[in-house]
Structure 1
Amino acid sequence: MFLFLKFLLAHILGDFVFQPEKWVKNKEEKKVKSVKLYYHIGIHALLLLLVLLFNLQEYWLGFLLIVVSHYLIDVLKLYLQKKKTKRIWFFIDQVLHLIVLVMATSLYIDFQLPSENIITEKGLLLLTFLLLVIFVSAIIIKIIITQWNPESKKENDDSLAKAGRYIGILERLFVFTFVITNHWEAIGFLLAAKSVFRFGDLTSSKDRKLTEYILIGTLLSFGFAIFLGVLYLYVLNLL
């Protein structure tokens, strides 16, 4: 684990701390012809040398694996990503780098899978309830409130695309987490914070139907998250 953390530290510093935004844009424009791409790989190599205390005699194979694969993965992302898929490729890129770090670590440390079943009963229960909180609740809430669906969009609507969906998912995840960790006071703070941010929109719209629509959606979202959190704790105690 200590060796893996060293590799991970070098990766975080190289990819997030010592890579300016202008380097990223330059790589996207010029791809393999970008000098910044090779600066980036050079910094990664230097950081790896530092965390390994320049001990290439012992770690040369892992060093080469990480540096060469980092270059190849970055080039692959630069040529395959499009404007609409940049976010997806960011996560694919990071997952591939982490897999390589695990592989490099495994060259020096034996990884053994646990003898017991990886998917435990409690883990499966948590996964099921997270899916209920994120997806099932969203569909049920949508079915309930779409019978009203007031016209709230304007010609100059500055709201983000699908923002409401993501806000709902995040607030339910927060509330669910607060319930299962017994931090009920945080739920009141979250509800108050959302009310403050929404107050300006509701007062400017002067639309009672929109106010009631948003209020119903918010209370349903919080209600489902609280209910599922309490139900999760009840079922968990039965296991």
Structure 2
Amino acid sequence: MGRWLFWGVLLAIAGGAVSVWRGWLEVPPQWNPWAPLDIKAAPNWLTGYKLMRLRSDPALCEQALSSSDLRVSPQADSPGAKCPLVGALRVQGGGVALSSSFIASCPLAVAYAMFEHHTLQPAAQSVYGQKIARVDHLGSFACRNVYSRESGALSRHASADALDIAGFRLAGGRTISVLRDWPKQNQDAEFLRQVRDGACESFSVVLSPDYNAAHRNHFHVDVGRWSVCR
């Protein structure tokens, strides 16, 4: 009896999934695995899956990005380069200014928009009662190996899938630095830890000063296929 119940439930779930996929059964977009990602919608247990789908579907990624406030411009493709870029964007900022624009793959741009909306600003409001006005970064695209070694695997920076974030400026002018403030035990350190932990909901990899000395002055965030939050 138990076995038949198991198979009955499994078939019901499969039938429901097919019905949603085919459009025979309507569910709210946030609960539809095949609906485009809405960057401003509250994240749920399907968000990670929707972010993952963007890596192999440029049209779907572009559609998701259009739901954000980011200003972006397309970059010329460089398929013959040592570190080829296809479909890359220059991110110029949005609701939060940037210390400078940066080059990003579409999935990185979407993840950054999610991070800004759902992690960065809520953390700033929670800790300081004001918004973040600017994000200071150390760059994104760089055609190099991991840790700039002479040999070995290419860094996620080599495909514009990574960004190094060094600090933040509040609307009131106060600055928070990963290098200066992470080791402290105060409000700024609390904010940085909230940002690090929340970033793991948008990016697949987040490396902070807790990871190693090479990250003592920044958060490395990327949208590669590995999953690390430290």
Bin for the TM-score computed over the shorter chain: under 0.3
Between 1 and 2, higher relative CO (CA 8 Å, sep ≥ 6) is seen in 1
TM superposition score normalised by structure 1:
0.25
Which protein has the larger Cα radius of gyration, Structure 1 or Structure 2? Answer: 1
* Structure ranking higher in strand proportion: 2
